[in-house]
Amino acid sequence: MHVPRNQRILLASRPDGLPQPGDFRIVEDALPEPADGQLLLQVLYLSLDPYMRGPMDARKSYADPVPVGGVMEGGTVARVVKSRHPGYAEGEIVLSHTGWQRFALSDGASLRKLDPATAPPSTALGVLGMPGFTGWAGLLNIGRPAAGDTVVVAAASGPVGSMVGQVARIAGARAVGIAGGPDKCAYVRDELGFDAVIDHWAPDFAAQLAAACPDGIDVYFENVGGKVWDAVFPLLNEFARIPVCGLIAQYNDRPGESPGPDRLPDMMREVLKRSLAIRGFIVREFAHQRPQFHEQAARWIAEGRLRYREDIVDGFENAPAAFIDLLQGRNFGKLIVKVSD
């Protein structure tokens, strides 16, 4: 009889810059047995997210570092395959945080049951999950778009950026997206309905952005940093709001390695002169708004006003390569690994 075994992907070494395949190690061991009050989960989908780069380093980010030899962390959708827990039955589908492994034990805490009849389970990792909620919460609480405002967001084809632009349009604002390459730009404009989109690989990217924002920028939702921030900054209007959500262009920088001279004094002068509101956030700050987000986003999807795209990679063992690709912009939509049928 075939006895399934567990596989886990561990952090083998801390990356020096961009992670390399050798920074990950896959190990195989026996399936754990649930004790009383526990359940055994089989992972169906593993979410790959840019924030996972932070805990690979030893320095503390907003998530604790993963120890070398520890399982890479991450959100998952899983099926209950054995239950010795009164609240869960075999066959139920849950949102969980098992990390990069095929099977895991759980005591039921922090699981959320999913109903596959109302939404495909993978959406709990993207448009209806943490990234979608991040775009919604950061834009509405900090960006506060008003009708007629110009809202700019980069990584616009991804789960955070696509939510930001579409919610901005629902709020009556003008959405300008920034994305990498013609395919992503066509998707952002034609499928997601942004008012304009600029390819950040274009040699005249900054000039194109300025032309697409003739009235300046009222809300810049910061996802990437780097050259995009440089192009956006001169265009910010008085009283512009800047939710700082992510800085993916800098995630692989070594400590103290940020390029260029120190521009902070000049930037602070402009923050003062133009009354700019720059405000960082981690989405868990808005956890209490999650039910409201879920109700709105599910309704907008049903009404055809909110669209999403998933980039599903088949095979657990392909997670490290897919994650390295994500950090270089090679994903197209919410990146998810399909682990089991």
Ligand X SMILES: NC(=O)c1ccc[n+]([C@@H]2O[C@H](COP(=O)([O-])OP(=O)(O)OC[C@H]3O[C@@H](n4cnc5c(N)ncnc54)[C@H](OP(=O)(O)O)[C@@H]3O)[C@@H](O)[C@H]2O)c1
For 27-43, the DSSP string reads EEEPPPPP-TT-EEEEE
Residue of 66, 95, 155, 198 that binds ligand X (CB under 6 A): 155
> Which parts of 204-243 interact with ligand X (CB under 6 A)?
223-224, 226, 228
Q: Give the shortest CB-15-to-ligand X separation in angstroms.
A: 15
Residue of 30, 282, 287, 312 that binds ligand X (CB under 6 A): 282
DSSP 3-state of 242 = strand
Q: Is 41 in the site for ligand X (CB under 6 A)?
A: no
> Which parts of 61-90 interact with ligand X (CB under 6 A)?
none
φ and ψ of 147, to 5 deg: -55, 135
Closer residue to ligand X (CB): 79 or 227: 227
φ and ψ of 233, to 5 deg: -55, -45
Q: Give the shortest CB-201-to-ligand X separation in angstroms.
A: 8
Q: Could you tell me how far CA 127 lies from the centroid of its own chain?
A: 10
Burial class (CB in 10 A: 0-12, 13-18, 19+), 301: middle
Residue of 151, 246, 297, 323 that binds ligand X (CB under 6 A): 246
Q: Is 48 in the site for ligand X (CB under 6 A)?
A: no
Q: Choose one: 109-117, 296-304, 312-320, 328-336; the region binding ligand X (CB under 6 A).
A: 328-336
Residue of 98, 134, 166, 208 that binds ligand X (CB under 6 A): 134
Say if residues 291 and 313 touch (Cβ distance below 8 Å): no
Question: Number of residues in contact with ligand X, rule: CB under 6 A?
Answer: 31
Q: Is 128 in the site for ligand X (CB under 6 A)?
A: no
Closer residue to ligand X (CB): 8 or 200: 200
- The token pair that represents 45 in the structure block: 């989908």
Residue 303: CB partners within 8 Å, gap ≥ 6? Answer: none
- The token pair that represents 59 in the structure block: 């320095």
Maximum distance among all alpha carbons in the chain?
73
- The token pair that represents 333 in the structure block: 């939509």
Chain residues that interact with ligand X, rule: CB under 6 A:
49-51, 131, 134, 154-155, 157-161, 179-180, 184, 200, 223-224, 226, 228, 245-246, 248-249, 281-283, 326, 329, 331, 335
